[in-house]
Structure 1
Amino acid sequence: MIVLPFKIPKTKNLGVTYQEDRGKFFFDKLHEHDEIQITRIVSGKGTVLVGNAIHEYSDGDIFVIGSNQPHIFKAEVSSEKESFMQSLFFTKYSFGKEFFELDDFREMDEFFLNSRTGFRVKFDKGKLYTYFDLLMAGSDFDRFLYFFSILKLLRKGKIEKLSSFIDNKEYSDNEGKKMRNIMDFTLENYSRKIDLVDVAEIANLTVNAFCRYFKQRTNKTYFTFLNEIRIDRACKLLKNKEYLITEVSEMAGFNNLSNFNRKFKELKKMTPSEYRISF
């Protein structure tokens, strides 16, 4: 899907590109690029939307985002910390069309398969942090070697898949912009009442056409996606014990406490009270 085509800036003819992003926010528009992205969140917290799913991110997280997978890192507005991200970008053909097809790289098949849905590293990240630290001051050749050391560590181990749906279809620029507008509208307005008429208008579609459009491209209904965003926000708010659960429910966009409790348990397999106690 063409959402917001993004060209990774390259000043040299390199097979793998290293990039650092620092500031109050990361690039906060839904976008995609040809390159597979390996990212370490050095500092910062917020929400990452990948494909058809939404997750929290915080200091120390390491993500792999697949080629042409729509994504956005949305920093928490209230956070006073600087956001700092280190990323490596490469394609399966960065070193030639047959490079990763060599028998030497058979152990990488699982990595490339998992990258299609994107994943978060769940195993011990100590060695990965060491290589990411070395990337900062390394030469181009050093970074090339560290990159393969990082790939070696990522090829196996416990991971959390980020998206549950792989969309292999190609869409026009106009369709991609339409989906980006839907996502931007949802992320900015989830805390208030949203009717299908509102979001269908953003997409310039009838309600029925919008429902079909969204389901085909995300494999879930719009309200399922909206509730996932709201529950993700509720999880963040629940960590602040100054808020009553009724207040959390309202701030996350639910106007009915029983509906909030039901949706929360459906997605998190525990009640909001149990979730709060776990922290």
Structure 2
Amino acid sequence: MKVYPFKIPKPVDEHLIVQIDKEPIFYNRLHQHEEIQISHIINGNGKLLVGDSVHQFSAGDTYVIGSNLPHIFKSIPQEKDAHMVTVFFTDKSFGSDFFMLPYFKDLKQFFFNATTGFKVITNKEIIAQQLIELQSQNRLKRFISFLELLENLSQISTEPLSSFIYSKTLSVNEGERLQEIFDFVLKNFQQSISLDEISKMAFMTPNAFCKFFKQRTNKTFFQFLIELRIEHACQLLSSKKELNINLVSDMSGFNSISNFNKKFKKLKGITPTQYQQSLLQ
């Protein structure tokens, strides 16, 4: 199935879609859709690419991904299936002016934050439970619970996922090309990747590639690559706390421990050693 843009399958008379994904890995193609997406990870971990940023995801996380925000959940295969519950809707699902009614003025913060996506930081257990319960509710109860969910999501502390607002959908050609770039980088980020190599893979000149990537992600290719490597390092430090920092640097694609420490502190605000120590407390 083509995924750029992606159409959420739904019955004609259904305005609020609750979807359960339980497979060896989550859908692993870069895609975007008109619907706002609220997803809770029940099981699974890996990397989340959204907009112009890279994050690590794991069981217990809840994310809101805004309308037309390109994203991909890249799972790490495990013995147990990856499991996620998601609700899809648009700001016009219940009528073009529904959320403009004065009753919903307190939801403005949610819709504002959703434009660049966010991760739920506080009240995680309550929001997760609300999402899980939507699966078994009848339409009326589901609608009421959905509004309560939005109210809670408007009042919590959040962590932005992206800094780039996507005002248009990617063309099929653009999506395919970005998908090929991301697939290549996700498979090879632990190795050296030159500008000439990635440009040739995308069938573009280096200058054309740099312009193409920057316009669609709001950052340079090497900024993206470094962020991906640092997030991988964080995953290693979180899952294998006994690992030596030098080994983590090598396994994350850095050829210099000093460069690794410098880039890690720039992105995370602390050194890899301090990050590792914080996990042991």
Q: Could you say which TM-score interval applies, normalised by the shorter chain?
A: over 0.9
Q: More deviation in 155-164 or 236-245? A: 236-245
Say whether 1:232 aligns with 2:231.
yes
Deviations along 1:181-240, one digit per CA (max 9) or x if unpaired, are 111211121111101111112222100111111112222111011000000001111231
CA distance in 2, matches of 1:269, 1:32: 31
| One-letter amino acid of the structure 1 residue matched with residue 151 of structure 2 | K
Cα pair 2:190 2:252 within 8 Å, conserved: yes
CA distance in 2, matches of 1:167, 1:106: 24
Alignment TM-score, normalising by the size of structure 2: 0.93
For 1:94, the equivalent position in structure 2 comes to 93
For 1:41, the equivalent position in structure 2 comes to 41
% identical equivalent positions: 46
Cα pair 1:29 1:72 within 8 Å, conserved: yes
Query: How much has 1:143 moved relative to structure 2?
Result: 1.6
Cα pair 2:22 2:84 within 8 Å, conserved: yes
Q: More deviation in 165-174 or 244-253? A: 165-174
Cα pair 2:40 2:86 within 8 Å, conserved: yes
For 1:55, the equivalent position in structure 2 comes to 55
SS for the counterpart of 2:54 is strand
Cα pair 2:191 2:253 within 8 Å, conserved: yes
Q: More deviation in 154-163 or 212-221? A: 212-221
Aligned length, in residue pairs: 277
Deviations along 1:46-65, one digit per CA (max 9) or x if unpaired, are 11111010111112111100
CA distance in 2, matches of 1:167, 1:65: 12
For 2:187, the equivalent position in structure 1 comes to 188
For 1:249, the equivalent position in structure 2 comes to 249
Cα pair 2:118 2:158 within 8 Å, conserved: yes
For 1:127, the equivalent position in structure 2 comes to 126
CA distance in 1, matches of 2:210, 2:156: 38
For 1:24, the equivalent position in structure 2 comes to 24
Matches within 5 A, 1:1-279: 4-77=4-77, 79-239=78-238, 240-279=240-279
Query: How much has 1:12 moved relative to structure 2?
Result: 4.9
CA distance in 1, matches of 2:18, 2:96: 21
CA distance in 2, matches of 1:172, 1:134: 36
Query: How much has 1:27 moved relative to structure 2?
Result: 0.3
Query: What stretches of structure 1 of length at least 5 have no aligned partner?
Result: none
Q: CA RMSD in A?
A: 1.6
Cα pair 2:46 2:58 within 8 Å, conserved: yes
Query: Relative to 1, partners in 2 of residues 1:169 and 1:138: Cα closer, same or farther, differing over 3 Å?
Result: closer
Query: What stretches of structure 2 of length at least 5 have no aligned partner?
Result: none
Query: How much has 1:162 moved relative to structure 2?
Result: 0.2
CA distance in 2, matches of 1:13, 1:181: 36
Runs (4+) of structure 1 exceeding 6 A deviation are: none
| One-letter amino acid of the structure 2 residue matched with residue 17 of structure 1 | I
Deviations along 1:2-30, one digit per CA (max 9) or x if unpaired, are 96221112135111100000122110111
